[in-house]
Amino acid sequence: MTNVKVRFAPSPTGKLHVGNVRTALVNFLYARAAGGQFMLRIDDTDDERSTAAFERAIRADLSWLGLAWDCEDRQSSRLERYTQALQTLVASGRAYPCYETQDELGLKRKSQLMAGRPPVYDRSSLSLTAEQIAAYEAEGRRPHYRFRLQDVEVAWTDLVRGPASYHMSSLSDPVLLREDGRVIYTLASVVDDIDHGITTVLRGEDHVTNSAAQIQLFEALGATAPQMGHLALLSGADGEGLSKRLGSLSIEQLRDEGFEPLALCSLLAKIGTSDPIAAFGSLDDIIASFQISKFGRSTARFSPDELSQINARILQTFDYAAAKERLDAAGLGDIDEGFWAVVRGNISSVGEAGKWWNICTQPVTPLKEDAEVMAAAIELLPDGEINAESWGVLTKAISAQTGKKGRALFMPLRQAITGESAGPDMAALLPYIGRDRVLARLAGNQA
């Protein structure tokens, strides 16, 4: 397809979570791989819950991830256009006013369910007389408007799911405009997609039935529906669905916890596909490997542990110049180039470099579990300032005196000197700890 144009359309009613961002990322990658355009559309017609703060956060998250948009629009500036579209549908008989209250609609649904019938709107408003309408309006009722579906099967070739179809007889005529005058997503989104020239709509599989109805709506407005692709929804590692209410998986918190944007993009671009999970070197590399046909229908699980592993692999590629800005932002400006080289292979976030800096420069409670090794280490620690060779000299001497080797030798020394059972190479770490601290910790003192 040429002239590809896709859109990401968040509502500024909350913070972005990984499910939202996966949708944004897939749209971005699809557009860039095809040489097309990626549009940001702010769906802000819910004026009760939409806020400028949430919109700023959405933009900040997308920018942090590197998902630059080529153009943008917002629904709140297009209300008159939606009114025009609704009038067109009313004039053609495809939209009609309804006067039931929410309580009355609820009773209808309950009655249908009790009778064993699907709770599909009965279109009783189509038979209202002028007198009945006048009576309702005299009561102060205002109509909501519905789109009249055609009782046929709607079929399309889904870019993810393959051949797809849905029969409209099982759906209620969707509401297009609420009684308070608020336009519903079903109408606004279709009108936007038509006017903005959207060629492809990629979104979650929870929109499949909505897409079937919207395909008829596109046609009723004289347009051809875009290509559709419905991605399997993400779940957490435990199989539970993701939600914007799970703050632990919000993009803002993941950023604050020190995850790299490239790590998140690397993971979200590949979970649910036939490709292996990998740590990519750039967004361009992800784009080059992207194919929408690789996405499957099985639920993809998002694992924070897997994200940490990818994050660690990406950090291992950072030279000091790449890490410096992040270290400064994390309040770790004292960390020098040599220390970064020592610890970067043993951390999964930049913030963890601070843990090792503190181990080297702040008091630590040692884990002293082998008195013989400790006594030998205090006796045999080479004189003078500790350097990169000191560790090798020390351990060789201790082994010769005690006969201990391997884990039995190295583990108690590491635990006593760092308070940890694993970490960076001790030979490289020891000079940053210094002779006085090493001796004090070997003696079992907090230093």
Q: What is the pLDDT of residues 398-421, one digit of tens each?
A: 999 999 999 999 999 999 999 999
- Domain identity same for 98 and 207: yes
Does a structural domain hold residue 312? Answer: no
- Domain identity same for 69 and 185: no
- Domain identity same for 398 and 323: no
Rounded to the nearest integer, the mean pLDDT of the chain is 93
* pLDDT tens-place string over residues 302-347: 999 999 999 999 999 999 999 999 999 999 999 999 999 999 999 9
Provide the domain count of the chain: 4
- Domain identity same for 404 and 414: yes
pLDDT of 237 over the 70 cut? no
Does a structural domain hold residue 214? Answer: yes
pLDDT of 36 over the 80 cut? yes
Residues 191/260, Cβ–Cβ less than 8 Å:
no
Does a structural domain hold residue 185? Answer: yes
CATH no. for residue 380?
1.10.10.350
- As a whole number of angstroms, the distance between CA 172 and CA 149 comes to 8
- Domain identity same for 208 and 128: yes
CATH no. for residue 70?
3.40.50.620
- Domain identity same for 344 and 388: no
170, 198, 231: which is the final residue of a domain? 231
- Residue (of 216, 212, 221) closest to 192 by Cα position: 221
343, 361, 379: which is the final residue of a domain? 361
Does a structural domain hold residue 62? Answer: yes
pLDDT of 245 over the 50 cut? no
327, 343, 361: which is the final residue of a domain? 361
3-state secondary structure of 158: strand
Q: What is the pLDDT of residue 47?
A: 85
Q: What is the pLDDT of residue 153?
A: 96
Does a structural domain hold residue 366? Answer: no
CA pseudo-torsion sign 164, 168, 170, 172: positive
Q: What is the pLDDT of residue 241?
A: 56
- As a whole number of angstroms, the distance between CA 341 and CA 351 comes to 15
* pLDDT tens-place string over residues 82-105: 999 999 999 999 999 999 999 989
Per-residue buried b or exposed e for 326-353, using 16+ beta carbons within 10 Å of the residue's own CB = bbeebebeebeeebbebbbebbbbbbbb
- Residues 369-382 have a mean pLDDT of 93
- Residues of the domain holding 217: 78-231
Does a structural domain hold residue 394? Answer: yes
Q: Which helix (H) or strand (E) holds 249?
A: none
- Domain identity same for 204 and 146: yes
pLDDT: which is higher, 135 or 368: 135
Residues 247/175, Cβ–Cβ less than 8 Å:
no
Q: What is the pLDDT of residue 236?
A: 74
pLDDT of 239 over the 70 cut? no
- Domain identity same for 126 and 192: yes
- Domain identity same for 221 and 97: yes
Does a structural domain hold residue 29? Answer: yes
Q: Give percent above pLDDT 90 in the chain.
A: 89
- Domain identity same for 87 and 60: no
- Residue (of 252, 232, 249) closest to 26 by Cα position: 232
Which of the four pLDDT bands, split at 50, 70 and 90, describes residue 2?
low
End-to-end CA distance of the chain: 66
Q: What is the pLDDT of residue 301?
A: 87
Q: At what angle do helices 371-380 and 390-402 cross, to 10 degrees?
A: 130
Q: What is the pLDDT of residue 368?
A: 80
Does a structural domain hold residue 313? Answer: no
- Residues 217-223 have a mean pLDDT of 98
Q: Kindly report the backbone phi and psi dihedral angles of residue 169, in degrees, each rounded to the nearest multiple of 5, phi listed first.
A: -65, -20
- Domain identity same for 90 and 116: yes
- Domain identity same for 71 and 82: no
- As a whole number of angstroms, the distance between CA 37 and CA 198 comes to 9
